[in-house]
């Protein structure tokens, strides 16, 4: 099929992008409910098994902004296909891994696929009609969260019917199909940003993210006041300062800090950080909560499969909201959707904190959580795409996704510290730990809603999203207008 014909069929391109992003999103969470199984099968410790998650998170956090920049420079299709290839190699290695070390290495390779998110958003912006950009970006953004939810839901049946190795074989099949389809179908975007990778900022970015996320991941086990944790946190601060200086001095910075100072960009990133705290912590700890035997005074003694089903409503509602995100954004504005999403998510957390004695309460909370996060994630992704020129779409959207991942690390670490701070004689966490933890997550989402009030807003859309954004622009998904028209 000629490239000109492909550009006239954005629906085909969208389907391929969605397939690849879906495979990546599933692999984010498929292992969460079965870490105990992995620990037993590979004869390792709980702390070592936890690195199956941590390694993936670290790798994705580092590679997302770097590959977003590479895609802007060398071609978004090339990077998208390359990330799918990395995801396939990592999945194959994980499927045949016979030791925890090999499995962790496989997860590091899989994490490289985090770079597909910014280039997917960039492909949509470059190839789709302007009026369809917001809706397509919103749907892809929602798919990342839906995939994370579905991974937890599907893990139980896959392990019950097959074994845990198939948690990697099945995504491998989907990834190979997506890679071949992308190679043959997705057109190469013509937009390029000339330049080169500034490796010093890249190395410093990697270093401070590794130091920060290792400290946050290991804090509950090592102790928050331990020398190792404090040293890593101090090192992260120093390295982050060095990274900022290196970026400011670089001829071609990895992340344009002037762009990051735009009101529409930094406010979206702040909200992404706070929402990430609530979402990832909930996905990680809600299955554990409902799997707790009811003899403990809470929980439902649910199996892996049944606990996954309790999160299924969030996957459905999140995807449904994402599919209508473009239409809702054009009608109400991205700012309103972000704030509404944070408040709905807060309601879901409050239900988990104070009304979790019956199963239907968990289902209601799960459904509300999907609505809230679906609204917020879809609107934020579209706002970021609209806020920057096409040449910076990859790095801007990649950094937003990356900050959300960092927020997830913070949330999971904080939740783990709260939940495990008080244990029953049986070794199970006390109910008060979960109550406090979910309440803290609700407070985080209130802060996210307040941060959303700082976002610029507009009453009407402009036709163009291709001109460079400036600090005083008022941004809404699908277009930009001057600050004089802002609310």
**pLDDT tens by residue, 268-299:** 889 999 988 887 778 778 888 888 888 888 88
Helix (H) or strand (E) holding 274: helix 263-291
Model confidence band, residue 81 (pLDDT cutoffs 50, 70, 90)? very high
**pLDDT at residue 346 in the model:** 94
* pLDDT attached to residue 473: 26
Q: Is the pLDDT of residue 77 over 50?
A: yes
Max mean pLDDT range (35-44, 263-272, 322-331, 465-474): 263-272
Per-residue pLDDT for 464 more than 80? no
- Residue % of the chain over a pLDDT of 70: 88
Lowest mean pLDDT among 80-84, 357-361, 425-429, 460-464: 460-464
Give the per-residue pLDDT at 475: 26
481 bridge partner residues: 474
Of residues 225, 313, 270, 215, the one with CA closest to residue 444: 270
Of residues 359 and 311, the one with the higher pLDDT is 359
CA-nearest of 75, 76, 85, 74 to 180 is: 85
pLDDT at 355 over 70: yes
Contact 218, 57 (CB under 8 A): no
CA 110 vs CA 136, 168, 283, 483: distances in Å: 25, 10, 20, 42
Residue indicated by tokens 């941060």:
451
Per-residue model confidence (pLDDT) at position 384: 78
Q: What percent of the chain has pLDDT over 90?
A: 24
Region of poorest pLDDT, from 6-10, 332-336, 468-472: 468-472
- pLDDT tens-digit map of 87-125: 999 999 999 998 888 999 999 999 888 888 888 888 888
pLDDT band at 394, cuts 50/70/90? low
Average pLDDT over residues 241-263: 81
More confident residue, 126 or 322: 126
Q: Does residue 346 or residue 250 have the better pLDDT?
A: 346
Q: How sure is the predictor about 477, in pLDDT bands with cuts at 50, 70 and 90? A: very low
- Mean pLDDT in residue range 301-306: 84
The secondary structure of 48-81 as a DSSP string is HHHHHHHHHHHHHHHHHHHHHHHHHHH-HHHHHH
pLDDT at 3 over 60: no
Residue among 264, 258, 230 at smallest CA distance from 244: 258
Query: How crowded is the C-beta side of 352, counted as CA atoms within 13 Å?
Result: 35
> Does pLDDT of 468 surpass 60?
no
Average pLDDT for residues 353-382, to the nearest whole number? Answer: 88
Q: Could you tell me the pLDDT band of residue 440, with boundaries at 50, 70 and 90? A: very high
CA distance 314 to 364: 9
- pLDDT higher than threshold 80 for residue 344: yes
CA distance 264 to 267: 6
The backbone torsions φ and ψ at residue 92, rounded to the nearest 5 degrees and listed phi first, read -60, -45
For residue 483, the model assigns a pLDDT of 31
pLDDT at 12 over 80: yes
- Does the pLDDT at position 46 exceed 80? no
Neighbours of 312 (CB within 10 A): 18
460 has a pLDDT exceeding 50: no
pLDDT surpasses 70 at 47: no
Q: What is the pLDDT of residue 462?
A: 36
In this prediction, residues 43-67 reach a mean pLDDT of 76
DSSP H or E stretch at residue 282: helix 263-291
Q: Which of 21-35, 153-167, 207-221 has the lowest mean pLDDT?
A: 207-221
What pLDDT does residue 458 have? 47
Task: Give the pLDDT score at 395.
Answer: 65
Please tell me the predicted confidence (pLDDT) of residue 436: 92
Please report the DSSP string for 83-146 in residue order: HHHHHHHHHHHHHH--SHHHHHHHHHHHHGGGGHHHHHHHHHHHHS-HHHHHHHHHHHHHHHHH
When mean pLDDT is compared across 20-24, 45-49, 83-87, 232-236, the lowest value belongs to 45-49
Least confident range from 37-41, 165-169, 299-303: namely 37-41
- The answer, yes or no, to whether residue 4 has pLDDT greater than 60, is no
**Please, what is the average pLDDT of the chain?**
80
CA separation for the pair 368, 345 (Å, rounded)? 6
Residue 460 or 146, more confident: 146
Helix (H) or strand (E) holding 250: none
pLDDT tens, residue by residue, 194-247: 667 778 888 898 888 788 877 876 776 788 889 999 999 999 999 999 998 998
């Amino acid at each position: 099929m000629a490239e000109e014909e492909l550009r006239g069929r954005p629906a085909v391109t969208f389907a391929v992008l969605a397939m690849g992003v879906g495979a990546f999103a599933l692999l984010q969470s498929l292992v969460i409910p079965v870490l105990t199984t992995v620990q037993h099968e590979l004869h390792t410790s709980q702390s070592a098994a936890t690195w199956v998650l941590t390694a993936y998170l670290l790798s994705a956090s580092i590679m997302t902004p770097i590959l977003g920049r590479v895609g802007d420079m060398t071609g978004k299709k090339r990077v998208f296909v390359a990330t799918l290839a990395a995801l396939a190699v990592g999945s194959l290695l994980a499927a045949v891994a016979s030791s925890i070390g090999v499995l962790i290495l496989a997860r590091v390779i899989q994490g490289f696929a985090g770079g597909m998110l910014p280039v997917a958003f960039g492909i949509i912006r470059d190839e789709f009609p302007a009026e369809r950009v917001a809706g397509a970006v919103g749907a892809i953004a929602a798919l990342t969260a839906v995939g994370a939810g579905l991974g937890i839901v599907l893990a139980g049946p896959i392990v019950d019917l097959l074994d845990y190795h198939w948690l990697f074989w099945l995504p491998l099949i989907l990834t190979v199909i997506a890679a071949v389809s992308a190679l043959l179908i997705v057109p190469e975007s013509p937009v390029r940003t000339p330049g080169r990778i500034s490796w010093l900022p890249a190395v410093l970015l990697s270093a401070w993210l590794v130091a920060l996320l290792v400290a946050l991941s290991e804090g509950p086990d090592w102790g928050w006041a331990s020398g190792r944790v404090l040293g890593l946190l101090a090192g992260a601060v120093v390295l982050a300062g060095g990274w900022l200086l290196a970026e400011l001095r670089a001829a071609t910075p990895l992340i344009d800090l002037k762009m990051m100072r735009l009101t529409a960009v930094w406010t979206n990133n702040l909200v992404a950080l706070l929402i990430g705290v609530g979402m990832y912590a909930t996905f990680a700890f809600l299955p554990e909560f409902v799997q707790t035997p009811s003899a403990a005074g809470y929980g439902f003694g649910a199996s892996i499969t049944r606990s996954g089903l309790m999160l299924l409503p969030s996957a459905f509602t999140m995807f449904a909201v994402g599919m209508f995100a473009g239409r809702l954004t054009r009608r109400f504005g991205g700012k309103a959707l972000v704030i509404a999403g944070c408040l709905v998510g807060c309601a879901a957390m409050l239900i988990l904190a104070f009304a979790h004695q019956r199963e239907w309460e968990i289902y209601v909370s799960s459904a509300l959580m999907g609505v809230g996060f679906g609204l917020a994630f879809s609107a934020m992704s579209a706002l970021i795409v609209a806020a920057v020129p096409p040449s910076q779409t990859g790095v801007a959207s990649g950094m937003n996704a990356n900050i959300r991942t960092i927020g997830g690390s913070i949330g999971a670490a904080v939740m783990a510290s709260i939940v495990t701070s008080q244990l029953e004689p049986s070794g199970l966490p006390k109910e008060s730990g979960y109550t406090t933890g979910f309440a803290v997550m609700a407070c985080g989402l209130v802060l996210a809603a307040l941060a959303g009030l700082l976002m610029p807003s507009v009453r009407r859309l402009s036709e163009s999203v291709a001109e460079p954004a400036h600090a005083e622009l008022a941004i809404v998904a699908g277009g930009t207008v001057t600050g004089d028209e802002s609310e």
